[in-house]
């Protein structure tokens, strides 16, 4: 409802400006650039360290430490281009397509067990998780600009449509020399949000300008499916031994689970749909060419 009202207001505002501004300097332009996004609205994950000591004459002594890890999947390098059309000197429309190469977020949990009993060997294991996003952002925008001779401020506001994948790697190892590694890919669906920017165009000549802009994206990524793409145990491939329900996931907002009915091994298993924040603020620079 809020998004619908915002879009209606933006459209009405743009139409009002288009009708009120008289300068008919219509023109097409293209932009190419890149920059860096800083993640906002991070998901919260906790890594832990646990130490447990078993004694023959006392209850186990246990200590656990937790540390917060911010999962900022909207953070990383971004590059792409856009095509635009100015209806007049002040109002235009722009369609941008950008690729976000997200930075990796890694956290590691460790567990250690010791004992007073000399016949019981110490045991420890670690579990490492890594997340990374690879997202295509389609950004239709209303552009409001000035028409100064050299340095032209402008702003744009519109929608952002996200599609892509999130990669998740989980690695396990223990003090016995055993190890496991599983890689997942989450994908599916087109996800809608809002975006805006404030920038400056520096005219080199009538055709070419250099632009710099600060950007804002507000969007969540909620994949529809998950896929186990790699599974090894002690270096041996496990994928051929797994059935469909162990390798594929179908995410739903309101799933129904029937007990004691078991999951069909020939179909993807159903899980609650996850929402990953990929919101960001960023800085981009590049070249603008006026046709």
Q: What is the pLDDT of residues 22-75, one digit of tens each?
A: 445 679 999 999 999 999 877 778 888 988 988 876 778 889 898 888 888 999
Place of tokens 């899980």: 271
Is residue 155 in a domain? yes
Say what the pLDDT of residue 203 is.
93
pLDDT of 25: 63
Decide if 182 is inside a domain: yes
User: Looking at residues 273-284, what average pLDDT do you find?
Assistant: 92
pLDDT of 19 higher than 70: no
- What's the pLDDT score for residue 57? 66
Q: What is the CATH number of the domain that holds 159?
A: 2.40.160.20
Residue 130 pLDDT class (50, 70, 90 cuts): very high
Average pLDDT, integer, range 72-93? 95
* C-alpha–C-alpha distance, residues 56 and 169, integer Å: 39
List, in order, residues 6 or more apart from 140 with CB less than 8 Å away: 93, 94, 95, 96, 158, 159
Q: Per mean pLDDT, which range of 23-27, 89-93, 215-219 is the poorest? A: 23-27
- Residue 191 domain-assigned (yes or no): yes
Counting residues of the chain whose pLDDT is more than 90, the rounded percentage is 68
Look at residue 20 and tell me if it is in a domain: no
Across the chain, mean pLDDT equals 88
pLDDT tops 60 at residue 3: no
Does any domain span residue 19?
no
Confidence of residue 10 (pLDDT cuts 50, 70, 90): very low
Q: Give pLDDT, residue 274.
A: 85
Confirm whether 237 is domain-assigned. Answer: no
Q: Does 33 map to a domain?
A: yes
| Number of structural domains in the chain | 1
Residue burial 200-225, b: 16+ Cβ < 10 Å; e: rest: bbebeeeeebebebebbbbbbbbbee
Residue 98 has pLDDT above 90, yes or no: yes
Domain that holds residue 188: 27-40+73-111+126-223+274-290
Residue 134 included in any domain: yes
pLDDT digits (tens, 9 = 90+) for 173-195: 999 999 999 999 999 988 999 99
Over the stretch 140-184, which tens digit does the pLDDT of each residue have? Answer: 999 999 888 889 999 999 999 999 999 999 999 999 999 999 999
Local confidence band at 119 (pLDDT 50, 70, 90 cut-offs) = confident
């Amino acid at each position: 409802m809020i998004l619908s009202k915002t879009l209606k207001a933006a459209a009405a505002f743009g139409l009002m400006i288009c009708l009120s501004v008289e300068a008919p300097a219509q023109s097409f332009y293209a932009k190419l650039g890149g920059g860096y996004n800083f993640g906002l609205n991070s998901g919260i994950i906790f890594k832990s360290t646990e130490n447990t000591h078993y004694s023959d004459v006392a209850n186990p002594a246990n200590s656990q430490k937790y540390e917060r890890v911010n999962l900022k999947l909207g953070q990383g390098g971004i590059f792409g281009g856009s095509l635009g059309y100015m209806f007049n000197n002040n109002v235009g429309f722009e369609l941008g397509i950008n690729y976000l190469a997200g930075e990796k977020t890694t956290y590691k949990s460790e567990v250690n067990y010791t004992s007073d009993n000399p016949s019981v060997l110490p045991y420890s294991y670690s579990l490492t998780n890594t997340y990374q996003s690879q997202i295509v952002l389609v950004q239709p925008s209303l552009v409001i600009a000035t028409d100064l001779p050299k340095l032209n401020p402008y702003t744009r506001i519109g929608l952002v449509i996200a599609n892509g994948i999130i990669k998740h790697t989980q690695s396990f190892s223990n003090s016995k020399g055993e190890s496991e590694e599983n890689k997942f890919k989450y994908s599916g669906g087109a996800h809608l949000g809002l975006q805006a920017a404030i920038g400056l165009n520096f005219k080199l000549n009538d055709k070419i300008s250099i632009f710099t802009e600060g950007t804002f994206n507000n969007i969540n990524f909620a994949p529809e499916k998950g896929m186990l793409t790699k599974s090894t145990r002690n270096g041996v491939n496990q994928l051929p031994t797994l059935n469909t329900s162990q390798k594929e996931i179908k995410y739903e907002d309101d799933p129904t689970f029937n007990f004691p009915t078991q999951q069909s091994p020939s179909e993807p298993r159903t899980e609650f749909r996850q929402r990953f924040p990929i919101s960001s603020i960023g800085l981009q620079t590049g070249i603008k060419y006026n046709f």
